[in-house]
Chains A and B, each alone.
Chain A
Amino acid sequence: GEDVEQSLFLSVREGDSSVINCTYTDSSSTYLYWYKQEPGAGLQLLTYIFSNMDMKQDQRLTVLLNKKDKHLSLRIADTQTGDSAIYFCAETPGSYIPTFGRGTSLIVHP
């Protein structure tokens, strides 16, 4: 099974906030990432958080990190239809190579 766990689907109404959750396994992960994948495209780095932080904000994106519970979340404020995509959480064990979860499909409807 996957080491990084995410729920598979999230459906929100346009203008609402979206919260995508992730549980990772490697407490030594130095960086934790969120990537976005649109249909037919590769993965695009959205944001990341260093393990000594508990929150990072970047425009409409807010990343929260709970190291004790190994829980990472991505909040997208004012979700738009263009935010519809698959969002991948990734941890970085000792090799620093990102290990990805299965992805959460975000569906934004009017």
Chain B
Amino acid sequence: EAGVAQSPRYKIIEKRQSVAFWCNPISGHATLYWYQQILGQGPKLLIQFQNNGVVDDSQLPKDRFSAERLKGVDSTLKIQPAKLEDSAVYLCASSLGGNHSPLHFGNGTRLTVT
């Protein structure tokens, strides 16, 4: 079974620039999550999708962050414009769905904003 794929692995941008991250979940997984992991901290949920609908985006800074999952499979997360404090690893995870469905994580995209 192929795992959760994320790209790019690394990205360095200057503040006020835009950046996009891509995630391809495990085939058949209905639920997709984006987490932000700042160095030295645990992952923090940004947004959860169930198929192509948003379930929870209460922690997403909507003035600069956006995410979509148009066909209920792949997802993109965008930051526009980036700030220094956005430097972090952005993790995508997927699960089959349901209340106790284990999350499978990708390797993440490490973003550095200078």
- B-contacting residues of A (Cβ < 8 Å)? 2, 4, 30-31, 40-45, 48, 88, 90, 95-103
Contact = CB atoms under 8 A, between A and B. Distances in A.
B105 A100 contact: no
Interface in B36-62: 40-45, 48, 56
Contacts of A96: 99-100
A97 B91 contact: no
B100 A2 contact: no
B100 A43 contact: no
B108 interface: yes
B103 A45 contact: yes
B56 A100 contact: no
Contact of B42 (A4, A44, A97): A4
Interface residues of B, number: 21
A44 to B, nearest CB: 7
Given A31-B100, A42-B91, A43-B103, 7 more contacts: A2-B41, A30-B99, A42-B105, A96-B100, A97-B48, A97-B56, A100-B43
Nearest to B91: A42
B21 interface: no
B107 A41 contact: yes
* Secondary structure type dominating chain A contacts: loop
B21 to A, nearest CB: 13
B106 to A, nearest CB: 5
Interface string B20-42: 00000000000001000000111
Nearest to A31: B100
B42 A102 contact: yes
B71 to A, nearest CB: 23
A43 B43 contact: yes
A105 B55 CA distance: 32
A11 B63 CA distance: 42
A54 B15 CA distance: 48
A40 B42 contact: no
A45 B102 contact: yes
Nearest to B58: A95
Nearest to A2: B42
Contact of B106 (A4, A42, A97): A42
